[in-house]
Structure formats: structure tokens, C-alpha cells
Amino acid sequence: MDINDLDEDEEFGFSRNYFLAKEMRGSGKKKSAQKLSDIDVVDEQELRVAVSNIETKHEKEIHTLLTSYKSLYPKWVFELRCGFGLLMYGFGSKKALLEDFASTELTNCGVIVINGYLQSINVKNVVATLAEILWEQLKTRRRSSAGSTSKVQKPSSFQSMEDLLAFLDGSDAKQNDCFVCVVIHNIDGPGLRDSESQQYLARLASCSNVRVVASIDHVNTALLWDKKMVHTQFNWCWYHVPTFAPYKVEGVFLPLILACSGTAQNAKTAAIVLQSLTPNAQSVFKVLAQHQLAHSDEEGMPINNLYTTCRERFLVSSQMTLNSHLTEFKDHELIKTRRHSDGQDCVYVPLTSEAITKLLEEIG
């Protein structure tokens, strides 16, 4: 057979497969068969026990890798003294690495640890604690040099964040080569991800008497900062330090996607189903969910009222359109119907108010 004939057959096969794929894609426009009950979930506690019993692999290799990073400790200390911040990234938990570095190399300065993987953190309390630690260091050094501590006002008397930051950026400690260090596990964590927290952390890092050592794990972390924050305030030295260690502590506070953990998981699984529906269908569902949150004492939303509201918002053009959406919701087990005490048919979302709120945030 001629080689040209083989090329033509191969090209024909490719073209045929392309049009078959397009045809199958077009036929997939019919409604999805996904249901909440189709998502196989287990009890969260049971799943966490199973995860904790998984045998860690390559323990020796991970230990060797962590040990190899110790040769960088003197360089990291030197960079901190020069006014830089250290930012660690790479696959695996860096918690043990940062804490080992702090406990072995930063013993001469005050250290405070922030667990950014927690859900909420009070940044002002962190700044106030740092100011107290710095004041104690200055007090100790003045004592050893027979000086007086009356010249420096105690941070506990400061009322505002500006006063605390001004104290941490004061010139008095510069002359004593004195600084405090902040170790932040997951500076991109949920408790620190908002703009206000990042702005305060950047200002804190720019203080002359503060040094920051932090870790990141989110792929979009760099989007939290502008050019000024990265190069002027944080003044990062980036280090790729993959540890391949499991995120045991960091993951405790996150809901397991395969676990039936109540409110959070019900909202997440419902969001997965809703995201497979059309934008109009999602908007109709939002109307029902918002009504249920506002009238939690009622038995549901009468279908006639739902139709009137959706028509006013130009979400449906006829009762038939609304019925098709409701049928789809029922098929996916997102809503249920029941007879109101006055005889009207009502629809409702079979979730708690807290779960509905989380669901609206998920699809918001």
C-alpha cells in the first residue's frame, strides 16, 4: 500500500472522530442526570480516621530532604538581618521546616507564630503582641547596659494600630540591632486572605524592627499583592523548598469533599449540581432560596408566587418555563414539594438555613 494512502486514511479517521465528537456534544444538551444522592459521601469522622491511618511513604527521603535545607539556615538568618523577608513555597507542608528554623536559629530574638490556615485571625492582637515582645527586648538590653527604660512608652498604653506600627518602626531598636520575627504558616490561608489583613501584614513587614518568615501553598497567592507590597514592604526572598510532607495540621480545619459533614458538605454537593445547570435555572433557584431564608417560618414558597417573582425579574417567560426548571430541580433532589395548609402547592429547599446561606455563597 502506498504511504500516501495511509496518510489519507489517517486524516479521514481523524475527521470522522472530530464530527462524531461534535455530534455527541450536541446530543448532550438534554438535562443532566446528576442527583445529590448520586454523590457518594461518608461520615466525616470515619473518613478522617481512615486518612490518618494511611501509611506515609518515603519517610527517609523526606527526612533527608528536610535535613538538606538546614545548610541554608545561616543564609536565611543573614538575609533576615539585612531586612529581607523569607517566603517558602513548594509542594508539601512547610510547618515543621519553619518551626525548626525558628527554634534553632532565631533564639536571640522574639518570635511569634501565626497559623494562617485557621478560619479567623485577629491581626491587631498579633501586632500588639509583637510590640510587647520588642519592648521587653529593649528593656532587657537597656538593663544590661545600665540604661533606663523610662524613655520608651509601654505598647499596652497604645490604643490604635497606627501607634503600634509606629513603635515597631521606631529608630530606638535600630541602634540596638534588635528585631522581632513573625513566622506565618500559610500567609495565603483563609484567615488572612482578605485585602485588609494583607495590607496590615505588608505594613508590619515593612517595619524596621520586624522580620517575616512565611509559607504559601495556593497557586494564586501572588494575586494578593501588588508590586509595592512584594518588592518594598514584604521585600521577599523566594525559596523553593518542597517537603512532600502531608498537610496533616493544615487540613484539619478544611471540610473533606468526600465526607458528609453536615452544613458545609450539603452546600458543597448542592453547588456541584447547580453549577451544571443553566444560569437562568440557577437564578430561579436563588429566588426560592432567598425567599426561604427570609421566611423560615413558612412551609415553603407557593408556586404561583415564585412564578410572579421570576417573571418580574425576567427569569421566565411562561409558567411552562418555570415548570421545566422545577422539574429539573426535583430530578436533582434540590427541592421538594408539599401542600400548604391553605391548599396551595409549595416548593422548598430541603436544607438548613445555614446550609442555604453557604450554598448561595458557593454559587454567588
- Predicted confidence at residue 88, as pLDDT, reads 96
- Give the per-residue pLDDT at 153: 66
What are the distances in angstroms from CA 237 to CA 88, 174, 199, 231, 325?
A: 9, 21, 19, 9, 53
Instruction: Show Cβ contacts of residue 289 under 8 Å, excluding neighbours closer than 6 positions.
Output: 349, 356, 359, 360
List, in sequence order, the alpha helices (H) in 206-237. Answer: 227-228
Grid cell listed for 323:
415548570
Contact 180, 209 (CB under 8 A): yes
User: What confidence score (pLDDT) does residue 204 get?
Assistant: 93
Pick the CATH number of 59-143+154-240 from 3.30.70.20, 3.40.50.170, 3.50.30.60, 3.40.50.300: 3.40.50.300
Report pLDDT for 29.
47
Domain map (residue ranges) of the chain = 59-143+154-240, 258-363
- The secondary element (H helix, E strand) that includes residue 240 is strand 236-240
- CATH dotted code for 258-363: 1.10.10.10
pTM, entire model: 0.60
* pLDDT value for 82: 92
Q: What's the sign of the alpha-carbon dihedral 168, 173, 175, 181? A: negative
What's the pLDDT score for residue 89? Answer: 96
185: β partners = 115
Run means of pLDDT, 10 residues per run, the chain, 364 residues: 56 65 55 58 70 82 91 95 94 93 90 85 86 84 59 67 86 62 93 90 92 93 92 94 88 60 62 80 92 88 92 89 86 83 85 86 79
